Amino acid sequence: MGELRWHPLLGQWVVVASHRQERTYKPPAEFCPLCPTRDPAHPTEIPDEDWDIAVFENRFPSFVETPPPPQVAGTALSPVAPAQGICEVVVYSPDHDRTLAEQSVEHIRKLVEVWAHRYEELGRRPFVRYVMIFENRGEAVGVTLHHPHGQIYAFPFVPPIPQQELAHAREHHERTGRCLLCDVLAEERAAAAASAPGGDRRPGRIVVENDDFVVFVPFFARFPYETMLLPRRHVGSLLELGDAERWHLAEALKGILARYDALFGLRMPYMMVMHQAPMDRPVGGYPECHFHIEFLPIQRAPSKLKYLAGSESGAGTFITDATPEEMARQLRRAGERLGGVGGVAR
Amino acid sequence: MGELRWHPLLGQWVVVASHRQERTYKPPAEFCPLCPTRDPAHPTEIPDEDWDIAVFENRFPSFVETPPPPQVAGTALSPVAPAQGICEVVVYSPDHDRTLAEQSVEHIRKLVEVWAHRYEELGRRPFVRYVMIFENRGEAVGVTLHHPHGQIYAFPFVPPIPQQELAHAREHHERTGRCLLCDVLAEERAAAAASAPGGDRRPGRIVVENDDFVVFVPFFARFPYETMLLPRRHVGSLLELGDAERWHLAEALKGILARYDALFGLRMPYMMVMHQAPMDRPVGGYPECHFHIEFLPIQRAPSKLKYLAGSESGAGTFITDATPEEMARQLRRAGERLGGVGGVAR
């Protein structure tokens, strides 16, 4: 039902998954496959009512554990490979309407545990090279099931974007002996400290911070209101976080997600993408890798979306319509209206 | 009003163009800035009524010829640079409703001349490294002005996607002495010739072909119904095409664009992106570069769009919902209904 095909011009795998064309598409709420089964005549994906967070294999997966052999022969320029991997769905709660931002910190803390467990568990499979935990949120991002949920893709290769990030981090590490993202964070903190006080009481691009995490609009943001969530401590994945850090991660997550929804008074469409170390070495085996979560919203104004058109999709160059400094200022204002949930920039 | 900021994790420039937030957004037809000026009380961008194709500088450009110095100081990790370049708009005709697919071959032939002229003219500026001719078509791609038009970006750097393509083409050229896209085309032709005849009278992934051009769905397509238009002869840009080839290019262009609109009976939203040699060497200076046009549609079914969500935008890995072979078959069927406009697969 699919295979990987090599793109010889771009040097990357493309996943052909033709069975996904027929995936469940925006069913009405009463037929939601992600709600708990309440009536045995209408079974859902989750045959139980008593749970906090549910994880199961995607019924329309891009990768499967035992894929059929490729349906086509590869060529000299374009080899093919089985689409071996695992795709999971993470249903955030039984509540069909409650988004991640609206969950309690206690609930998000449980989700952090689930993520760490799945990252470790999936990463242990010998055919898995990279585990990506992510969420597509909102119809504008292409969500076809409205019940709040995230996804996990266990890839049989390190995908291009994490691969590029790791390559640049490795180069920096070899050259300086330091972690690239530790240095980015130091620059962000210096920029915040150095800004002249004035109209804006909390300067710089930092939006949320607590004892263990900082969320900021990167100086080099590509998406509108893009933020990056970083642990202050240099760790490669969720697995290296202690109990207090996991609580602070839950708090910082709620902090930034609540600001997104408050920014325009609408549920912000975004992609949330977790970057952790590849899984082919033991914990700590990628010293250049600094765990982080990227939030990539696509709403550039209350009634305008950002599209990835010719420049972005055709050339690979992103154009932003606002400065990162202005984006951060607006997100901080939204945070003030919320009473500083999750921690304010210090 | 903007600058380039270096993304140290991805190793690429991001363009900050905050003045673009206020660009003209879906004006009603009577206020279309791309129509000829008909009433001096309502001047448009084009103060003349008697023209075939109009080219002028974008009023909301991402790059300008004499940019102000960057508004912010760069850092050690993220240097900044002036956003120096040129952005032009190419209005395909005075007709507010006639799309490129609906123009005559004669008219498209004139457009080929305009493109070649602008590519050469812009490429001659010392600060221009790469000229990208493209079209964003359809509201679903983010078009904010409906009058059919294309764009030209004269970049001060080679953007990431052409850069990757050139790097892989160069590697192939050094290793084999041959052009990568010539070899891709040979594989496509071999696949078409080798397919068993059967239900489908025209096998392979070739959709349109004439004496000088071939349009096919690449074996490694990333977008729904993606096609690549290639000259049979190895040339690096429009400038190397002779008169007969330019006519055949116009014909092949009309052929594929007409098929896209016929496929679902709607104006297919797409990006059209022209890949030519960078402009820092004389004509022929990039022997590894084979001129081609990529068509990247985003409609995967009559009422469903393809979104570039978590896997594509977050990981950089594309997942397609149909096989390239099936996409090609459907596009050929659409071509049959049109009487084979532009040339059929032979």
pLDDT in tens, B149-175: 999 999 999 999 999 999 999 999 999
Kindly state whether B288 is in contact with chain A, defined as any CB-CB distance less than 8 angstroms.
no
In the three-class reduction of DSSP (H, G, I as helix; E, B as strand; rest coil), residue A76 is classed as coil
User: Using a CB-CB distance cutoff of 8 angstroms, which residues of chain B are in contact with residue A20?
Assistant: 319, 321
B133 and B205 housed in the same domain: no
Kindly state whether B193 is in contact with chain A, defined as any CB-CB distance less than 8 angstroms.
no
Q: Catalytic: which of B19, B96, B147, B149?
A: B149
B229 and B332 housed in the same domain: yes
Residue B17 has pLDDT above 60, yes or no: yes
Report the CATH number at residue A208. 3.30.428.10
CB contact under 8 A, B9 and A164: yes
Give the pLDDT band (50/70/90) at residue B200: very low
CB contact under 8 A, B222 and A304: no
H/E run at residue A55: strand A54-57
Least confident of A207-216, A274-283, B31-40, B288-297: B31-40
Residue B165 included in any domain: no
pLDDT, mean of residues A267-291: 95
pLDDT, mean of residues A237-263: 97
Instruction: Please state whether beta strands B206-209 and B227-231 pair in parallel, antiparallel, or not at all (unpaired).
Output: unpaired
pLDDT, mean of residues B293-319: 95
Containing structural domain, residue B68: 3-17+29-155
CB contact under 8 A, A273 and B315: yes
B45 φ/ψ angles, rounded to the nearest 5 degrees: -75, -15
Residue A9 has pLDDT above 90, yes or no: yes
Residue A297 included in any domain: yes
CB contact under 8 A, B168 and A11: yes
pLDDT number for residue B199: 46
CB contact under 8 A, A18 and B296: no
Residue A202 has pLDDT above 90, yes or no: no
Kindly state whether B29 is in contact with chain A, defined as any CB-CB distance less than 8 angstroms.
no
Token output for A101: 């931002």
pLDDT, mean of residues B11-16: 97
Q: Which tops the pLDDT comparison, B278 or A197?
A: B278
Residue A233 included in any domain: yes
Nearest to A14 among B153, B310, B318 (CB): B318
**With pLDDT > 90 as the criterion, what percentage of chain A qualifies?**
79
Give the pLDDT band (50/70/90) at residue B192: confident
CB contact under 8 A, B314 and A134: yes
Kindly state whether A133 is in contact with chain B, defined as any CB-CB distance less than 8 angstroms.
no
Residue B301 has pLDDT above 50, yes or no: yes
B124 and B197 housed in the same domain: no
pLDDT number for residue A54: 96
Residue B341 has pLDDT above 90, yes or no: no
Residue with tokens 């992510």: A134
Mean residue pLDDT across chain A = 93
pLDDT, mean of residues B250-263: 97
From the number of C-beta atoms within 10 Å of its C-beta (0-12, 13-18, 19+), residue A346 rates as: exposed
CB contact under 8 A, A219 and B141: no
pLDDT, mean of residues B132-160: 95
B223 and B322 housed in the same domain: yes
Closest CA to B162 of B243, B280, B23: B280
User: Using a CB-CB distance cutoff of 8 angstroms, which residues of chain A are in contact with residue B297?
Assistant: none
B7 and B128 housed in the same domain: yes
pLDDT number for residue B271: 97
Count chain A–chain B contacts defined by CB atoms under 8 A.
248
pLDDT number for residue B346: 67
User: Using a CB-CB distance cutoff of 8 angstroms, which residues of chain A are in contact with residue B77?
Assistant: 180, 183-184, 187
Residue A197 has pLDDT above 80, yes or no: no
pLDDT number for residue B19: 77
In the three-class reduction of DSSP (H, G, I as helix; E, B as strand; rest coil), residue A87 is classed as strand
Distance CA B8, CA A171 (A): 11
Most B-contacting residue of A6, A7, A9, A12 (CB-CB within 10 A), to test interface = A9
Distance CA B92, CA B98 (A): 9
Distance CA B45, CA B58 (A): 10
pLDDT digits (tens, 9 = 90+) for A110-125: 999 999 999 999 999 9
B149 is catalytic: yes
Interfacial B residues in 53-72 facing A (CB < 8 Å): 62, 71-72
- Angle A228-A229-A233 (CA atoms, 0-180°, nearest 5)? 125
CB contact under 8 A, B11 and A315: no
Residue A30 has pLDDT above 90, yes or no: no
Give the pLDDT band (50/70/90) at residue A20: confident
pLDDT, mean of residues A282-310: 94
CA distance B234 to chain A (A): 16
CA distance B40 to chain A (A): 31
Interfacial B residues in 301-320 facing A (CB < 8 Å): 301, 304-311, 313-320
Q: Is the dihedral of CA A72, A78, A81, A85 positive or negative?
A: negative
B243 and B318 housed in the same domain: yes
Residue B198 has pLDDT above 70, yes or no: no
Give the pLDDT band (50/70/90) at residue A195: low
Q: What is the ipTM of this complex?
A: 0.95
Residue A170 included in any domain: yes
User: Using a CB-CB distance cutoff of 8 angstroms, which residues of chain A are in contact with residue B141?
Assistant: 307, 309
Most A-contacting residue of B16, B176, B289 (CB-CB within 10 A), to test interface = B16
CA distance A337 to chain B (A): 24
pLDDT digits (tens, 9 = 90+) for A98-110: 999 999 999 999 9
In the three-class reduction of DSSP (H, G, I as helix; E, B as strand; rest coil), residue A292 is classed as strand
pLDDT, mean of residues B261-265: 96
Kindly state whether A135 is in contact with chain B, defined as any CB-CB distance less than 8 angstroms.
yes
Give the pLDDT band (50/70/90) at residue B144: confident
Give the pLDDT band (50/70/90) at residue B201: very low
User: Using a CB-CB distance cutoff of 8 angstroms, which residues of chain A are in contact with residue B319?
Assistant: 14-15, 17, 20, 62
B264 alpha carbon, distance to own chain's centre = 21
Residue A196 has pLDDT above 60, yes or no: no
Of B124, B155, B186, the domain-final residue: B155
CB contact under 8 A, A311 and B77: no
CB contact under 8 A, B14 and A311: no
Least confident of A43-47, A206-210, B84-88: A43-47
Nearest to A21 among B143, B310, B321 (CB): B321
B302 and B183 housed in the same domain: yes
Residue A159 included in any domain: no
The number of folded domains in chain B is: 2
pLDDT digits (tens, 9 = 90+) for B40-60: 888 888 888 889 999 999 988
Token output for A217: 């609009």
pLDDT, mean of residues A168-182: 98
B245 and B182 housed in the same domain: yes
Q: Is residue A131 within 8 Å of residue A152, measured between CB atoms?
A: yes
Kindly state whether A329 is in contact with chain B, defined as any CB-CB distance less than 8 angstroms.
no
Residue A106 included in any domain: no
Residue B255 included in any domain: yes
Residue A253 included in any domain: yes
Q: Is residue A298 within 8 Å of residue A305, measured between CB atoms?
A: yes
CB contact under 8 A, A77 and B221: no
CB contact under 8 A, A310 and B136: yes
Residue A293 has pLDDT above 70, yes or no: yes
pLDDT number for residue B2: 86
Kindly state whether A159 is in contact with chain B, defined as any CB-CB distance less than 8 angstroms.
yes
Give the pLDDT band (50/70/90) at residue A342: confident
Kindly state whether A326 is in contact with chain B, defined as any CB-CB distance less than 8 angstroms.
yes
Question: What's the Cα-to-Cα distance from A226 to each of A56, A104, A190, A195, A215, rounded to whole Å?
Answer: 29, 23, 20, 21, 10
A275 φ/ψ angles, rounded to the nearest 5 degrees: -110, 115
pLDDT number for residue A234: 98
Residue A344 has pLDDT above 80, yes or no: no
Q: Catalytic: which of A107, A147, A149, A292?
A: A149
Q: Which tops the pLDDT comparison, B200 or A182?
A: A182
Interfacial B residues in 67-106 facing A (CB < 8 Å): 71-72, 75-78
Residue A199 has pLDDT above 90, yes or no: no
CB contact under 8 A, B315 and A8: no
Of B120, B155, B190, the domain-final residue: B155
CA distance B189 to chain A (A): 12
